[in-house]
């Protein structure tokens, strides 16, 4: 048994244990133990991966394993990781870990909440380790279903509407995705579903056009591709805190990850030809999300639109098809995952105290809750790409990478995307200025308390990760970059 | 000279310690940590300067030393951002300037900020700023410079918004950050263009004089100019934003909402000259390949200096007068850079510009710290609330006077020498421009003495409680900074910093010197006549100039134009349109899809009546129909 | 010689022609259908369904006898159907009794509530 499968087994084991728990304490104990193990496991994986690479392992995917599952269709349970998946696995385990602490006071139905939460995590982890198209899709669906219940049951506001909208839109896109995946399978000669094999087979160009569009679109909707992003603001705004974190932080990254792992890698020629159309969409999405965020007053909506902008930037970078831009895209996925999780965590904490998320109803909270306030400022500054935080590294890599394309069209789009760093500054500073700074607006808020230990733990973990990535990006960036060089070589 | 790394590490460590333990440290401990780290850094900087300038020159030229350089982030196969330390005459000169002013501000703040809430945070931010500024000037490549450039902007944002409970401070900090970031966006695009065509970020490679790396950039043309011209112009816009050149100057006067020592450090002496430093750093490229951009820089600088000087004449808030004065003086530096060439006497402008940067940092910091001392005593920024302070605050008065004389260009104060070099360089380039700048210099002398006479002379004002001299921690920096202000002009600056790095001996240009001193003296005389006994009155101009004066008082409504563009067009227009579009069109179409599905299902539902016999009929007829079809077709 | 035409031929040693059996089965079948479509009482409808099934059974038996006299498949199928029909009747009657308990009669119009 390959140790990568532990990433799936461990959450499943957590689910089993949760079934047997009988009180809150046991539930939380299971979650803390399990998620800590996941963090340790991902750290171990990162260590093993880097050790293997420095020992000269040159395969595109390491730690591969493949078990027969349904042979007539060549469906196998195949796993394997490269630098990109390692990074995403680390991110996921971090978010699951912090999400646990953020949901410390989750009620009612604590046990059930964490059950679905673990199932969601199972899907995400499984997605990132899979190299088989079908298992990939299976895990993808596994991650989507719990979302509906998590939002519909434990959400706030218009939760039924949001849950329905989110699930329907994502299901619709995954239906298209399934057609695309089957299309790839059959047009490549129906010999294998394994991505590592499929990259060696070139698919006829006419079919590439169709299936690239289908798969990229299918994954793109999850990555908030403009104009199919509207599930995301509503979904995020209604979801409970930990789910928002996991969803914006990790689940939306499934879109970006999938679109290059499947759409770009397997059909590079079509990607080259069709990328201008999607580039225009994503570039619009980058600016559009940022501009829409300016007008919002609900903290969660602000961050949700900001996520739309940043996730479109991920897709934008992927479509630029240069190694640097792809590296930047992965860095941006990682960075945005951490930042947006931090944002949602803080928003949840503030909301649980002030019982409002409208920035117009708050003011001067910095004095009342300095820890949360400083955390929010840090999150805000990293969101707009201040050096020293992860956002800067990611965005700069993307912009430099995007500029490597020597045509005016892509240059202009890049410049348009660059404007988002200014618009980002506008909405973030406006938000911070409105609800953290200034005089205390609502005297009732004067009695609120600052973060508890479990909240501090979550915030500090995320901030530390953001600063680490922003200050010492050399190793991580090189690891991702190497994965792409081997991947692009195979593709050509 | 690896020890120069410590110059960065001292303030960084201080920032981290103060940032992490701010709640557990007492005010005193925080002050000691911050100031102590700065003192160590200052001593190292001075030692480094001495070390650098005494290192033997190679063939009469100062060499570029890179004692430390490590790759930080790889981007593709060629490009990589390094973190390193670059020592050459201008960066070493900046080391001295920044560390001196920063140390003085740290000491000064011990008294000025005493007992303020958030004292530890204040020192933490100051350390962060000093670290970033040092990182900026020591950058080995343009991207490292951009990184620290942004960090400087952030620390400026944090410090302007230090009094975060005051809405004006919050608004000012926001404005400063967004305006400079807007400019930085162009800087970034400029870097992207430059680095794409040259395949390097490294200053060493860019300045190597090797023309081949620019071939590609020069041969590519876009909208009538070469890619290199675009890149350099865009980079200059970034510098213009940070250095508050027209029309990106609007953030600087508002930035005065921050604590006064911060204004002295960031918004007078160091950060705002980053743009000048940037142009000076890239000067070899500007002068050799894009002289048209350099010419543009000269004209922008010339306009800015006159524009800001005129506004400064009618402002009533002393910090705003100084702010506009800063804008105007930076304009002087920019003009000097713009008119300069590389070699020998033609490179005078470059030398003069950096000389002025040096002297200006000293006397402007002194002016601001003096203003802080006054505000500390009077508890107001408004000139109308002041008058006759010379008897109450003798030390502040004398040091302030020294600084005023220096900025007005009266010999033998430092400002006289540097400004005179600038004017000489400009006259050598274009006589009309020279006259224009002489007039601006005259305005400078006028507004600064208007300020001086209104505060220290003027009418006797009734104070709520009698003003008193500031504590020693505040007067010491004043006296300390007065020394370079007095004597700085005698530094043989041309021996250290010149455009081509060889030694250049300054020859005074007597006629120009005579004219400028005469203009300044006249201006001072008029100011004395108007304000020595009268104090400040806003309605002082003759009726013909009233409209002009009002416009100048309102800073020629540039802010209003910006406000209109951002608030009315961007915020209420475009952003609202986007939000509407998102809600009604994008979201609406998705919801519409759901509604259509819903509607169709309601319509179809009628067939499922639940009457089983009706189903049976349908079934029967269906079967018969299919049978018939099979039989007869 | 076993073509469709043989249906109308009186088989050697058999007194009754196939078509007679067919007629009985046809009448049974349409009586069942008619009953199912017109009766309101579920019990009667159930009986009608039984009629339809019996019609099918007769057909099975007859065709087996005439077409493949050496085999018993059709017979088995008829028996099988009878067994299934018995089970089905048991379930149906259980449902009908429940309907009767709930509504006080066994009218098919009562059963509309299951619709969406």
Q: Is the pLDDT of residue A149 over 50?
A: yes
Residues of chain C in contact with residue B605, where contact means CB-CB under 8 angstroms, are: 116
Cis peptide before A227 (omega within 30 of 0): yes
Strands A62-70 and B221-222: unpaired
User: What are the strands, taking DSSP E only, across A273-361?
Assistant: none
pLDDT band at residue C116 using 50, 70 and 90 as cut-offs: very low
* Site of tokens 């001193």: B517
Looking at residue A333, its pLDDT comes to 92
Give the mean model confidence (pLDDT) for residues B96-118: 88
Q: Do chains C and A touch (3 or more CB pairs under 8 A)?
A: no
Taking the CA of residue C99 and the nearest CA in chain B, the distance in Å comes to 15
CB contact B223 to A (< 8 Å): no
Two structure tokens written together for B291: 């002289």
Contact C37 B611 (CB under 8 A): no
How far apart CA A367 and CA A450 sit, in angstroms, is 10
Cis peptide before A363 (omega within 30 of 0): no
Percent of chain B with pLDDT over 90: 13
Give the mean model confidence (pLDDT) for residues B83-93: 89
How far apart CA A307 and CA A301 sit, in angstroms, is 9
Number of domains in chain A: 1
Give the mean model confidence (pLDDT) for residues B302-317: 87
CB contact B617 to C (< 8 Å): yes
Q: Which of B305, B298, B281 is nearest to B334 (CA)?
A: B298
The pTM for the full model equals 0.86
Looking at residue B507, its pLDDT comes to 75
How far apart CA B34 and CA B122 sit, in angstroms, is 10
Contact B582 A474 (CB under 8 A): no
Find all residues with CB under 8 Å of A89, minimum gap 6, and list them: A7, A42, A45, A81, A125, A128, A129
Find all residues with CB under 8 Å of B97, minimum gap 6, and list them: B269, B270, B357, B358, B361, B362
Strand partners, A65: A79
Report the range of poorest mean pLDDT among A63-67, A106-110, A384-388, B4-8: A106-110
CB contact B605 to C (< 8 Å): yes
Report the range of poorest mean pLDDT among B25-34, B101-110, B212-221, B237-246: B212-221
How far apart CA B425 and CA B509 sit, in angstroms, is 10
Reported as a single tens digit per residue, the pLDDT across B34-70 is 899 999 999 999 999 888 888 877 777 888 888 888 8
| Angle at the Cα of A258 from the Cα atoms of A252 and A259, rounded to 5 degrees | 100
* Site of tokens 């027209």: B246
The answer as to CATH 3.90.550.10 being correct for domain C17-113 is: no
Phi, psi of B71 (to 5 degrees): -65, 140
Nearest CA in chain B to A419: B185
Q: Do C51 and C28 meet the contact criterion of CB atoms below 8 Å apart?
A: yes
CB neighbour burial string for A301-336, b if at least 16 within 10 angstroms, e if fewer = bbbbbbbbbbbbbbbbbbbbbbbbbbbbbbbbbbbb
Contact B164 A366 (CB under 8 A): yes
How far apart CA A299 and CA A352 sit, in angstroms, is 13
Q: Is the pLDDT of residue A357 over 80?
A: yes
Contact B165 A393 (CB under 8 A): no
How far apart CA B83 and CA A93 sit, in angstroms, is 31
Q: Is the pLDDT of residue A399 over 80?
A: yes
Reported as a single tens digit per residue, the pLDDT across B353-401 is 888 999 999 889 999 998 888 888 888 777 777 777 778 888 888 888 8
DSSP per position, A31-90: HHHHHHHHHHHHHHHHHHHHHHHHTT---SSEEEEEEEEEGGGTEEEEEEE-HHHHHHHH
Looking at residue C24, its pLDDT comes to 93
Q: Do A483 and A60 meet the contact criterion of CB atoms below 8 Å apart?
A: yes
Q: Is the pLDDT of residue B460 over 80?
A: no
Strand partners, A54: none
How far apart CA A298 and CA A427 sit, in angstroms, is 12
Q: Do B354 and B93 meet the contact criterion of CB atoms below 8 Å apart?
A: yes
Query: Which residues of C lie inside 8 Å of B (Cβ-Cβ)?
Result: 33, 36-38, 45, 108-109, 111-116
Q: Do B323 and B267 meet the contact criterion of CB atoms below 8 Å apart?
A: yes
Give the mean model confidence (pLDDT) for residues A429-436: 86
Percent of chain B with pLDDT over 70: 97
Contact C116 B605 (CB under 8 A): yes
Give the mean model confidence (pLDDT) for residues C93-112: 84
Chains meeting B at 3+ CB pairs closer than 8 A?
A: A, C
Q: Which of C61, C91, C93 is nearest to C79 (CA)?
A: C61
Two structure tokens written together for B82: 């390094």
CB neighbour burial string for B286-318, b if at least 16 within 10 angstroms, e if fewer = bbebbeebbebbbebbbbbbbbbbbbbbbbbbb
* Site of tokens 């850079």: B337
Residue-number span of the structural domain to which A125 is assigned: 3-491
Q: Which of B613, B614, B617 to mutate to test the interface with C (most CBs of C within 10 A)?
A: B613
ipTM of this model? Answer: 0.90
Q: Is the pLDDT of residue A492 over 50?
A: no
Taking the CA of residue B573 and the nearest CA in chain C, the distance in Å comes to 48
Looking at residue C83, its pLDDT comes to 93
Looking at residue B534, its pLDDT comes to 62
Reported as a single tens digit per residue, the pLDDT across A71-100 is 888 888 888 888 889 999 999 999 999 988
Reported as a single tens digit per residue, the pLDDT across B474-515 is 888 888 888 888 888 888 877 788 777 777 777 777 888 888
Q: Do B232 and B190 meet the contact criterion of CB atoms below 8 Å apart?
A: yes
pLDDT band at residue A331 using 50, 70 and 90 as cut-offs: very high
Reported as a single tens digit per residue, the pLDDT across A205-264 is 888 888 889 999 999 888 888 888 888 888 888 888 888 888 888 888 888 898 888 888
Looking at residue C72, its pLDDT comes to 87
Q: Is the pLDDT of residue A200 over 50?
A: yes
Looking at residue B539, its pLDDT comes to 45
Two structure tokens written together for B118: 């958030």
Two structure tokens written together for A477: 């960036």
Q: Is the pLDDT of residue C6 over 70?
A: no
Task: Parse chain C into domains and list their residue ranges.
Answer: 17-113
How far apart CA B361 and CA B356 sit, in angstroms, is 8
Instruction: Output the average pLDDT for chain A.
Output: 86
Phi, psi of B69 (to 5 degrees): -160, 125
Q: Is the pLDDT of residue C13 over 70?
A: no
How far apart CA B187 and CA B232 sit, in angstroms, is 9
Phi, psi of A267 (to 5 degrees): -130, 65
DSSP 8-state assignment for residue A143: H
pLDDT band at residue A1 using 50, 70 and 90 as cut-offs: low
Strand partners, A66: A78
Contact A381 B154 (CB under 8 A): yes
Q: Is the pLDDT of residue B538 over 70?
A: no
Q: How far is CA B221 from CA A413, B192, B218, B228, B287, in A?
A: 18, 16, 7, 9, 19
Q: Which of B162, B222, B578, B584 to mutate to test the interface with A (most CBs of A within 10 A)?
A: B578
Residues of chain B in contact with residue A401, where contact means CB-CB under 8 angstroms, are: 75-76
Strands B79-87 and B65-75: antiparallel
* Site of tokens 């099918």: C56
Looking at residue B67, its pLDDT comes to 85
Q: Smallest Cβ distance to C33: which of B611, B612, B620? A: B620
Q: Do A89 and A137 meet the contact criterion of CB atoms below 8 Å apart?
A: no
pLDDT band at residue A405 using 50, 70 and 90 as cut-offs: confident
How far apart CA B375 and CA B320 sit, in angstroms, is 13
The DSSP element (H or E) to which B184 belongs, if any, is helix B167-198
* Site of tokens 């960090």: B151
Region of B114 please: left (phi>0), alpha (psi -120 to 50) or beta.
beta
Q: Smallest Cβ distance to C108: which of B608, B609, B612? A: B612
Looking at residue A40, its pLDDT comes to 92
| Dihedral in degrees, nearest 10, Cα atoms B170, B176, B177, B179 | 130
Q: Do A169 and A234 meet the contact criterion of CB atoms below 8 Å apart?
A: no
Taking the CA of residue B73 and the nearest CA in chain A, the distance in Å comes to 5
Looking at residue A489, its pLDDT comes to 58
Q: Do A479 and A314 meet the contact criterion of CB atoms below 8 Å apart?
A: no
Chain A / chain B CB contacts < 8 angstroms: 128
Looking at residue C115, its pLDDT comes to 58
Q: Which of B600, B601, B609, B610 to mutate to test the interface with C (most CBs of C within 10 A)?
A: B610
Give the mean model confidence (pLDDT) for residues B544-553: 70
Report the range of poorest mean pLDDT among B363-377, B444-458, B521-535, C71-85: B521-535
pLDDT band at residue C57 using 50, 70 and 90 as cut-offs: very high
Query: Three-state DSSP class for C106?
Result: coil
Taking the CA of residue B600 and the nearest CA in chain C, the distance in Å comes to 14
Instruction: Output the average pLDDT for chain B.
Output: 84
CB contact A422 to B (< 8 Å): yes
Query: Three-state DSSP class for A193?
Result: coil
């Amino acid at each position: 048994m390959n140790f990568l499968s532990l990433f799936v087994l461990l959450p499943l084991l957590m689910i089993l244990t949760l079934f047997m728990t009988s009180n809150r304490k046991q539930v939380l104990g299971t979650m803390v133990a399990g998620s800590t193990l996941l963090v340790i496991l991902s750290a171990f994986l990162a260590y093993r991966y880097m050790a293997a690479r420095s020992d000269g392992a040159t395969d595109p995917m390491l730690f591969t394993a493949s078990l027969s599952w349904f042979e007539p269709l060549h469906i196998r349970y195949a796993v394997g990781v490269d630098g990109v998946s390692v990074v995403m696995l680390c991110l996921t385990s971090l978010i699951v870990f912090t999400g646990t602490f953020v949901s410390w006071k989750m009620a009612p139905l604590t046990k059930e909440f964490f059950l679905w939460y673990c199932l969601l995590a199972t899907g995400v982890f499984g997605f990132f380790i899979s190299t088989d198209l079908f298992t990939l899709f299976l895990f993808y669906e596994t991650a989507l279903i719990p979302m509906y219940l998590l939002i519909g049951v434990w959400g706030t506001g218009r939760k039924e509407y949001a849950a329905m909208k989110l699930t329907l839109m994502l299901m619709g896109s995954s239906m298209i995705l399934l057609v695309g995946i089957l299309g790839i399978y059959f047009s490549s000669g129906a010999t294998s579903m394994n991505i590592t094999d499929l990259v060696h087979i070139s698919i006829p160009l006419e079919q590439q056009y169709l299936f690239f569009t289908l798969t990229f679109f299918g994954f793109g909707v999850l990555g908030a591709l403009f104009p199919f992003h509207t599930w995301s603001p509503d979904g995020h705004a209604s979801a409970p805190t930990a789910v928002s974190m996991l969803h914006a932080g990790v689940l939306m990254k499934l879109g970006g990850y999938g679109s290059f792992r499947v759409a770009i890698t397997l059909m590079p020629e079509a990607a080259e030809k069709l990328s201008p159309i999607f580039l225009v969409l994503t570039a619009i999405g980058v600016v559009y999300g940022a501009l829409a965020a300016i007008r919002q007053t609900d903290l969660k909506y602000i961050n949700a639109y900001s996520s739309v902008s940043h996730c479109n930037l991920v897709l934008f970078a992927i479509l630029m098809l240069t190694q640097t831009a792809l590296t930047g895209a992965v860095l941006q996925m990682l960075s945005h995952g951490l930042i947006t999780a931090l944002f949602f965590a803080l928003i949840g904490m503030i909301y649980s105290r002030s019982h409002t998320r409208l920035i117009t109803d708050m003011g001067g909270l910095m004095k009342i809750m300095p820890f949360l306030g400083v955390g929010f400022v840090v999150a805000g500054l990293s969101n707009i790409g201040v050096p020293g935080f992860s956002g800067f590294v990611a965005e700069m890599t993307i912009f430099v990478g995007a500029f490597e394309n020597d045509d005016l069209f892509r240059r202009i789009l890049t410049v348009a995307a660059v404007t988002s760093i200014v618009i980002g500054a506008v909405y973030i500073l406006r938000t911070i200025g409105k609800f953290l700074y200034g005089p205390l607006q609502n005297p009732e808020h004067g009695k609120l308390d600052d973060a508890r230990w479990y909240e501090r733990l979550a915030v500090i973990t995320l901030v530390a990760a953001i600063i680490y990535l922003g200050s010492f990006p050399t190793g991580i960036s090189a690891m991702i970059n190497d994965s792409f060089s081997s991947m692009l070589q195979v593709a050509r | 000279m690896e020890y120069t790394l410590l110059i960065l590490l001292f303030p960084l460590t201080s920032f981290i310690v103060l940032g992490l333990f701010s709640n557990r440290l007492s005010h005193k401990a925080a002050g000691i940590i911050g100031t102590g780290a700065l003192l160590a850094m200052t001593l190292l900087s001075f030692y480094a300067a001495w070390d650098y300038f005494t290192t033997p020159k190679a063939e009469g030229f100062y060499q570029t030393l890179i004692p430390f350089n490590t790759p930080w982030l790889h981007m593709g196969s060629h490009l990589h951002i390094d973190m390193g330390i670059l020592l050459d005459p201008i960066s070493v000169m900046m080391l001295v300037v920044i560390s001196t002013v920063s140390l003085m501000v740290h000491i000064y703040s011990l008294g000025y900020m005493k007992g303020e809430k958030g004292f530890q945070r204040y020192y933490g931010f100051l350390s962060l700023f000093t670290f970033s500024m040092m990182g900026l000037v020591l950058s080995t490549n343009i991207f490292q410079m951009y990184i620290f450039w942004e960090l400087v902007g952030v620390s400026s944002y944090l410090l302007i918004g230090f009094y975060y409970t005051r809405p004006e401070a919050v608004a000012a900090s926001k404005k400063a950050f967004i305006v400079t970031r807007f400019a930085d966006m162009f800087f970034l695009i400029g870097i992207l263009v430059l680095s794409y065509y040259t395949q390097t970020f490294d200053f060493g490679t860019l300045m190597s004089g090797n023309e081949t790396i620019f071939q590609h950039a020069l041969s590519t043309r876009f909208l009538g100019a070469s890619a290199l011209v675009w890149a350099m112009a865009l980079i200059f816009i970034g510098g213009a934003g940070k250095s508050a050149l027209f029309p990106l100057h609007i953030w600087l006067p508002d930035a005065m909402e921050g604590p006064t020592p911060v204004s002295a450090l960031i918004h007078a002496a160091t950060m705002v000259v980053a743009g000048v430093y940037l142009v000076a750093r890239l000067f070899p490229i500007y002068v050799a390949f894009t002289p048209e951009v350099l010419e543009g820089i000269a004209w922008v600088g010339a306009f800015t200096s006159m524009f800001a000087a005129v506004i400064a004449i009618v402002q009533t808030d002393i910090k705003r007068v100084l702010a506009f004065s800063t804008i105007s003086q930076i304009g002087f530096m920019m003009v000097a850079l713009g008119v300069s060439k590389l070699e020998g006497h033609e490179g005078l402008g470059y030398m003069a510009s950096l000389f002025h940067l040096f002297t200006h940092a000293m006397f402007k910091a002194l002016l601001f710290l003096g203003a802080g001392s006054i505000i500390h005593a009077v508890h107001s920024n408004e000139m109308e609330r002041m008058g006759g302070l010379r008897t109450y605050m003798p030390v502040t008065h004398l040091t302030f006077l020294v600084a005023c004389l220096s900025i007005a260009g009266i010999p033998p104060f430092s400002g006289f020498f540097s400004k005179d070099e600038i004017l000489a360089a400009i006259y050598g380039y274009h006589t009309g421009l020279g006259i224009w700048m002489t007039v601006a210099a005259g305005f400078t002398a006028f507004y600064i003495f208007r300020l001086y006479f209104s505060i220290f002379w003027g009418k006797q004002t009734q104070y709520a409680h009698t003003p008193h001299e500031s504590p020693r921690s505040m007067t010491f920096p004043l006296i300390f900074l007065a020394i370079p202000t007095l004597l700085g002009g005698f530094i043989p600056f041309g021996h250290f910093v010149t455009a081509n790095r060889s030694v250049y001996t300054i020859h005074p240009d007597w006629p120009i010197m005579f004219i400028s001193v005469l203009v300044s003296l006249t201006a001072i005389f008029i100011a004395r006549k108007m304000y020595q006994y009268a104090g400040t009155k806003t309605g002082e101009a003759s009726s013909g100039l009233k409209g002009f004066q009002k416009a100048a008082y309102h800073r020629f409504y540039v802010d209003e134009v910006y406000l209109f563009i951002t608030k009315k067009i961007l915020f209420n227009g475009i952003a609202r349109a986007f939000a509407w579009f998102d809600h009604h069109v994008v979201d609406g179409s998705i919801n519409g899809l759901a509604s259509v599905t819903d509607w169709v299902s309601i319509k179809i539902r009628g067939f499922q009546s639940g009457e089983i016999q009706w189903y049976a009929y349908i079934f029967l007829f269906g079967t018969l129909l299919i049978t018939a079809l099979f039989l007869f077709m | 010689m076993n073509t469709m035409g043989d249906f109308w031929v009186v088989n050697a040693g058999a007194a009754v022609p196939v078509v007679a059996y067919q007629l009985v089965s046809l009448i049974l079948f349409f009586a069942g259908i008619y009953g199912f479509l017109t009766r309101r009482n579920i019990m009667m409808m159930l009986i009608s369904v039984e009629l339809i099934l019996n019609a099918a059974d007769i057909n099975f038996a007859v065709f087996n006898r005439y077409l493949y006299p050496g085999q018993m498949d059709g017979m088995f199928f008829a028996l099988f159907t009878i067994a299934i029909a018995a089970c089905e009747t048991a379930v149906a009657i259980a449902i009908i009794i429940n309907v009767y308990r709930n509504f006080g009669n066994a009218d098919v119009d009562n059963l509309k509530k299951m619709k969406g």
